[in-house]
Amino acid sequence: MLGELECAALERHLERCSSCARTRSEIAAFTLLLRAAPLAERRLPVSVPPRRPARARRVRRAAAGLVLAAALAAGATLFVLPQGAPVASSAALSLATPRQRLEFAAAERDRTEPPTFAPASAPERFLPYAARALA
Ligand SMILES: [Zn+2]
């Protein structure tokens, strides 16, 4: 189904394009012939099968049950199980002073990086600058 603008554009095109205008009149004549012809009688009875076989219904019910069970399990996981310790980044944000943040960062670095690539602790003379940068 064409919209109002599309209908207007089509009419404009048909006024200028003889090929499309000829095709339209052929289709219109054919449509009139079809509508004027007597209805054909069917020779064999037509039966429509049920919309969904019983097996498909059972499969759909089982799938719905599985989805419901998964949703319940997810809800139980969220509300029943205890919340774990906060992740390291949010723990760092809750530290009060820049000094504590630096110590936390150093501890995390020592924990996560191999000792060959990380010095045991940051040199003391860099701490004030880093503390200002983190403040
Ligand atoms: Zn045309």
Write the pLDDT tens digit of every residue in 26-76: 999 999 999 999 998 888 888 888 777 778 888 899 999 999 999 988 888
CA of 30 to the centre of ligand 1 (A): 19
For residue 12, report the distance from its CA to the centre of ligand 1, in Å. Answer: 10
Domain parsing of the chain, residue ranges:
8-35, 88-134
User: What's the 26 CA to ligand 1 centre distance in angstroms?
Assistant: 14
Residue type, 85: A
> 93 C-alpha vs ligand 1 centroid, how far in Å?
69
Tokens of 69: 């069970």
Structure tokens at 107: 């501890």
In this prediction, residue 6 has a pLDDT band, given cuts at 50, 70 and 90, of very high
- Those residues whose beta carbon sits under 5 angstroms from the ion ligand 1 are 17, 20
- Residue 21 Cα to ligand 1 midpoint, Å, equals 7
Digit-coded pLDDT (tens) for 67-107: 999 998 888 887 776 665 555 566 656 777 888 888 888 88
Residue 53 per-residue DSSP state = -
CB 101 within 8 A of CB 81: no
Alpha helices in 80-126 (DSSP H): 88-93, 98-112
The model's pLDDT over 97-135, given as tens digits with 9 standing for 90+, comes to 888 888 888 888 888 876 665 555 555 566 666 666 666
Rounded Cα distance, 95 and 38, in Å: 88
This prediction's pTM: 0.31
